[in-house]
Amino acid sequence: LPSLAVAGLVGAVAVVALLNVPQQVRAAPADPAPEAGVQVEGVGTASGRPDILRVTIGVETSAENVDEALTAADEAARRVLAALRVADVPERDVQTVNVSVWPRHGHEGEEITGYTARHDLLVTLRSVDQAGETIAEVVEAGGNAARVQSLAYALEDDEAQQEQARAQAFADARRKAEQYAELAGRELGDLVWVNEQVTPSGPIPYAGDSAAGGEAVPLAPGSTTVTVTA
């Protein structure tokens, strides 16, 4: 009797199993025909408290000519870097991701009235509880040129969450496969294939044109969720 293949996607995991009618011993099954089965999807999630914070901190300055704008941006960037060193942020966790200069135009859009220069640093903060204080100190060092572009919490090692989400996704897919087998009057057979997709939680945006130092920036880490779909 023909067998029915059931594809089960597991929370970022695709699972295919054979549905068989009880029968006598037979040779190893050949690849099932595409029309011989159905595909199901399972989803699993697991959360954890973020242990790192990635924040983009920049400086932006304007002047009448390129050299003045770039020099002012360089000086502000050096102050920011110095503040990060004082805050014990390792050099390996600070990366320049953008240096740009562009002209400013007048109301008519043709005459160049000056230039703006910008530096952006991607900073990884590993002390999440102290991140708000560190950001405030760095912004204070940058002065009015400081910009906080964005931030995103993350788990540096989310393997445990992936394993938990994977198990949930697989179980979810199996339950669906078993139901389809029952509805089809078959028995759930061999696993045929598995495909996995893992989706971490997206970044949490935070933006501001500038910020004055002094008090720590209030931050709420919340939790980071890993999703597996199959």
Are residues 107 and 178 located together in one domain of the fold? no
Query: Is 173 inside a domain boundary?
Result: yes
Query: Is 22 inside a domain boundary?
Result: no
Query: Is 33 inside a domain boundary?
Result: no
In the chain, how many domains are there? 2
**Contact between residue 118 and residue 60 where contact means Cβ atoms under 8 Å apart:** yes
Query: Is 175 inside a domain boundary?
Result: yes
Domain range spanning residue 183? Answer: 43-48+158-205+224-229
Query: Is 15 inside a domain boundary?
Result: no
Query: Is 25 inside a domain boundary?
Result: no
Query: Is 28 inside a domain boundary?
Result: no
Are residues 134 and 62 located together in one domain of the fold? yes
Residue 126 belongs to domain with CATH number: 3.30.70.2970
The pLDDT tens digits for 136-163 are 999 999 999 999 988 888 887 777 878 8
Which residue's entry shows tokens 């991701």?
A: 97
Question: Which of residues 154, 173, 195 is at a domain's end?
Answer: 154
Q: What is the pLDDT of residue 12?
A: 36
For 137, 164, 174, 189, 224, the CA distances from 195, given in Å and listed in that order, are 46, 16, 14, 18, 23
Lowest mean pLDDT among 5-14, 36-45, 46-55: 5-14
Are residues 128 and 194 located together in one domain of the fold? no
* DSSP conformation class of 48: E
HSE, side-chain direction, 13 A CA sphere, residue 207: 4
Are residues 178 and 190 located together in one domain of the fold? yes
Are residues 162 and 96 located together in one domain of the fold? no
In 3D space, the residue among 127, 134, 147 whose CA is nearest the CA of residue 51 turns out to be 127
HSE, side-chain direction, 13 A CA sphere, residue 171: 8
Query: Is 179 inside a domain boundary?
Result: yes
The pLDDT tens digits for 180-195 are 888 888 887 777 778 8
For all residues of the chain together, what is the average pLDDT?
77
Are residues 112 and 177 located together in one domain of the fold? no
pLDDT higher than threshold 80 for residue 8: no
